Amino acid sequence: MDNIAWHDVQGLLLSGYPQLPWSVYLPFRWRDGAAEGARAWLGALAPRLMRAGAAGEPAAPGGAAAPHLQLLKAKAPPVALNLALTAPGIAAVSGAAALAPFSLEFREGMAPARGNGPVPRRCNVLGDLGASSPASWDWGGWNGNPSVDGLLMLFAADEATLEALVARELEALRRVAEPLVAPDNGGPLRLTSRLYDDLKEHFGFRDGISQPIIEGSPRAERLAENREAYRIHVVKPGEFVFGYPNERRVTSGRDDLRNNGSYLVLRQLEQDVAEFNRFVEQAARQMPDPSPLAVKCEWIRARLVGRDSDGVPLARASDGTVGGDGELARAKINDFLFAHEDPAGLRCPIGSHIRRANPRDGRGDDPEAALLLSRMHRLIRRGRMYGERFDPARPDDGGRRGTLFMALNADIAGQFEMIQHSWLNNRHFGDRHVGTDPLGHLDETEEAIVIQDRPVNLVLDKRKPFVRVRGGAYFFLPGIEAVRRMAQPV
């Protein structure tokens, strides 16, 4: 296989920047009539974008003037910049014809305009209805901040460095673009987000554990000796980066603006932690089991996600209890499959979040075929938290908090949308009634969450979702050379 041109790929594709836990994303609109200025800004930005690798080969530190991941490991520079553009954002600088190779869903956007017609098909596909309808989004939807051209992503090691970076970059950006407007104070909309030291999201679960590993990446090379893990996690590069073969052995985008780029799905998912905790506690109180309430709560929480709060996967917990034989479970925190280890979902429920989001070998009768199929529906997740952390002493503080969910993939319809629609939002996932994803946002009817158990299944009433979509857009994370091409006059 061709070597991947990591020096031309933006760093976010290969790393979630754990060294840079502070971040601000600035969604913006180009100013009217400022295409020339926008191109000049892109040209100046291109060499400053964080890349996945140095020119030449990925692992060699030094040798390139542009920032790349190896330098991050050497602690300099302490910041990273990445850029993504929407379809209108690309058309404005490169002309509408430049969009021809991009997919329909990207061109249409996450929330196609409704006008006076029926709810657009995409809202139905994603389940963006009711409280999660684009009608009430803060940005990217139908009302406030409907049009978005681009997203400047800024990452730093500490808050002060981040603030200085934001101030500098906002000033330069403002000459060619207008930031979107924050609904609360009318200032620039800053999507401020964090990775916490304990790597937990707001509901209290460790996140970011399971990621696909790109064939040809340094991590895949390190895994080469471990055949079982390689089989589960390593995926062809074309599933995420254009210009290389995907799992169907098809290469696309090598000769157009998509080369060395990836689609970036961004969703602002608000989390109602107090409601989630109340739901778990109520369900735990109804369990006849004499264990202490806290133990029962953790039992239920783990079954909603498929991992306990510390990330230990239930499918690997030896006797089905949370954590199981801890050391083994921890060591094998991600090298598990479902078909043989837990076919009936008695350890890790069929409808749990991780079993839907990546069913591994557990769908249908042929585990090998299922694993192959799962490899065609993977996402690289780069989500970060926004809002204050939840304080159990002040459960109803009115604070808005959630996940800035970010997924990278080369086929939005076949990867992100398929997972959201056919797996997370599917009441009959795994060919039986299991309700929709416990962490999902579907808000149509009363829901039931089914937990496989002996002697009978546990059925929990979920009266409303704990998650609500507040904004979002489909972006494209271009390769560096593509940014340079967009900077050229049309």
Residues in touch with ligand HEM (CB under 6 A): 201, 203, 205, 207-210, 269, 271, 305, 307, 353-354, 357-358, 379, 381, 403, 405, 416, 419-420, 424, 439, 467
Least CB distance to ligand HEM at residue 37 (A):
36
Rounded to the nearest whole angstrom, what is the least distance from the CB of residue 97 to ligand HEM in the complex?
A: 31
**Min CB(5)–ligand HEM separation in Å:** 26
Q: What would you report as the CA-atom Rg of the chain, rounded to the nearest whole angstrom? A: 22
> Quick one: which of 207, 229, 206, 228 has its CA closest to 219?
229
Residue number with CB closer to ligand HEM (28 or 416): 416
| Residue 177 or 302 having the CB closest to ligand HEM | 302
The residue among 276 and 476 lying less far from ligand HEM, judged by its C-beta, is 276
Report the distance separating Cα 437 and Cα 258, nearest Å.
Answer: 32
Query: Taking Cα atoms as reference points, which of 419, 408, 383, 411 lies closest to residue 477?
Result: 408
Write out the two tokens for 131.
């409280």
Residue number with CB closer to ligand HEM (267 or 296): 267
Residue closer to ligand HEM, measured from CB, 71 or 302: 302
Distance, CA of 379 to CA of 307 (rounded, Å): 18
Cβ closest to ligand HEM, residue 375 vs residue 485: 375
Q: How far is the CB of 129 from ligand HEM (least distance, A)?
A: 15
Nearer to ligand HEM, 54 or 214 (CB): 214
Q: In the numeric block, which tokens belong to residue 104?
A: 């329909």
Give the E-state strand segments of 127-206 in sequence order: 150-156, 177-179, 191-194
User: What's the CA gap between 20 and 200, in Å, rounded?
Assistant: 16
Q: How far apart are CA 399 and CA 389, in angstroms?
A: 9
Q: Which residues of 317-330 are buried (b: 16+ CB within 10 A; e: fewer)?
A: beeeebbbeeeebe
Q: State the nearest-atom distance from the C-beta of 206 to ligand HEM, in Å.
A: 6
Q: Count of CB atoms within 10 A of residue 397's CB? A: 13
Closest CA to 384 of 196, 178, 135: 196
Structure tokens at 130: 């009711």
Q: From the CB of 122, what's the least distance to ligand HEM, in Å?
A: 14
Q: How far apart are CA 241 and CA 167, in angstroms?
A: 31
User: Would you give the DSSP letter of residue 384?
Assistant: E
Structure token digits, residue 423: 């797996």
What is the DSSP secondary structure assignment for residue 463, as one 8-state letter? -
Q: How far is the CB of 438 from ligand HEM (least distance, A)?
A: 10
Between 56 and 399, CB nearer to ligand HEM: 399
Bridge partners, residue 266, by sequence: 406, 473
Shortest distance in whole angstroms from residue 209 CB to ligand HEM:
4
- Give the C-alpha separation, 128 to 471, whole Å: 10
- Asked whether the CA dihedral 334, 336, 337, 338 is positive or negative, the reply is negative
Residue with smaller CB distance to ligand HEM, 28 or 276: 276
Residue with tokens 């009441």: 427
Q: Which candidate, 218, 189, 352, 264, places its Cα nearest to that of 13?
A: 264
In this complex, which beta carbon is closest to ligand HEM, that of residue 41 or of residue 390?
390
CB of 128 to ligand HEM, least distance (A): 11
Least distance from C-beta 420 to ligand HEM, angstroms? 4
| Smallest gap from residue 477 Cβ to ligand HEM (A) | 17
Closest-CA residue to 418 (of 472, 341, 357)? 357
Please say which residue, 207 or 342, places its beta carbon nearer to ligand HEM. 207
Residue 30, token pair as written in the block: 């180009």
Q: Nearest CA to 387 among 129, 184, 208?
A: 184
Nearer Cβ to ligand HEM, position 77 or 414?
Answer: 414
Distance between CA atoms of 335 and 345, rounded to whole angstroms? 17
- Rounded to whole angstroms, the Cα distance separating 458 from 444 reads 22
Beta bridge partners of 447: 462
> What letter does residue 11 receive in the DSSP assignment?
G
Q: How far is the CB of 395 from ligand HEM (least distance, A)?
A: 18
* 299/405 with CB nearer ligand HEM: 405
Distance of closest approach, residue 377 Cβ to ligand HEM, in angstroms: 9
